[in-house]
Amino acid sequence: SQDDRQRLSPRPKVSVEKYLQPFQLSPETLQEVSARLRKDLLRGLGKHSHHKAPVKMLPTFVRATPDGTEKGDFLALDLGGTNFRVLHVRVEEEAQKVQICAIPQEMMLGTGEQLFDHIATCLGDFLESHNLKGQTLPLGFTFSFPCEQLEIDKSILIRWTKGFNCSGVEGKDVVQLLKEAIHRRGDYHIGSVAMVNDTVGTMMSCGYKDQSCEIGMIIGTGTNACYMEEIKNVKRIEGKDGRMCINTEWGGFGDDGCLDDILTEFDVEVDKTSINPGVHIFEKMISGMYLGEIVRLVLVKMTKDKLLFKGQISEALGTPGRFETKFISEIEDGLENAKKILTELGLDWDLVDASVVRLVCDTISSRSAYLCAAALATLVNRIRNNRKLGHLKTTVGVDGTVYRKHPTSKLQKAVRLLAPQCDITFLVSEDGSGTGAAMVTAVAQSSACVTASRGKTRIKAAFVSTNARR
Taking the least distance from each CB to ligand BGC, the nearer of 218 and 299 is 218
Among the listed residues 40, 73, 173, 198, the single catalytic one is: 198
Residue 233 · residue 93 · CB < 8 Å: no
193 in Cβ contact with 175 (< 8 Å): yes
Q: How many Å apart are CA 258 and CA 262, to the nearest integer?
A: 9
Euclidean distance between CA atoms 250 and 283, whole angstroms: 8
92 CB-side CA count, 13 A: 9
Work out whether 255 is an interface residue with ligand BGC (CB under 6 A).
no
224 binds ligand BGC (CB under 6 A): yes
**Options 70, 198, 214, 229; binder of ligand BGC; rule CB under 6 A:** 198
Q: For 338-367, what is the HEC assignment?
A: HHHHHHHCCCCCCHHHHHHHHHHHHHHHHH
Which of 80/397 has CB closer to ligand BGC?
80
User: Could you tell me if 271 and 284 are in contact, meaning their C-beta atoms sit under 8 angstroms apart?
Assistant: yes
Contact pattern for ligand BGC over residues 65 through 104, marking x by CB under 6 A? ---------------xx-----------------------
| Catalytic residue from among 78, 117, 162, 255 | 162
Site membership for ligand BGC, residue 161 (CB under 6 A): yes
Q: Which one, of 375, 378, 362, lies nearest residue 298 by Cα?
A: 362
CB closer to ligand BGC out of 144 and 441 = 144
Residue 251 makes contact with ligand BGC by CB under 6 A: yes
Q: Is 162 a catalytic residue?
A: yes
**By Cβ distance, which residue is nearest to ligand BGC?**
222
Our finding on whether 254 is near ligand BGC (CB under 6 A) is no
Q: Which of residues 277-306 bind ligand BGC (CB under 6 A)?
A: 280, 283
Name the minimum Å distance from CB 436 to ligand BGC.
12
Nearer to ligand BGC, 283 or 350 (CB): 283
- Is position 399 annotated as part of the catalytic site? no
Task: Tell me how far apart the terminal alpha carbons of the chain are, to the nearest angstrom.
Answer: 70
330: three-class secondary structure by DSSP: helix
* Cα distances (Å, whole numbers) of residue 428 to 203, 210, 229, 425, 460: 10, 11, 22, 10, 25
Q: Which of 61, 126, 141, 145 binds ligand BGC (CB under 6 A)?
A: 145
Is-contact 86 126, C-beta < 8 A?
yes
Residue numbers annotated as active site = 162, 198
Q: Which residues in this chain contact ligand BGC in the complex, by CB under 6 A?
A: 80-81, 144-146, 161-162, 197-199, 218, 220, 222-224, 249, 251, 280, 283
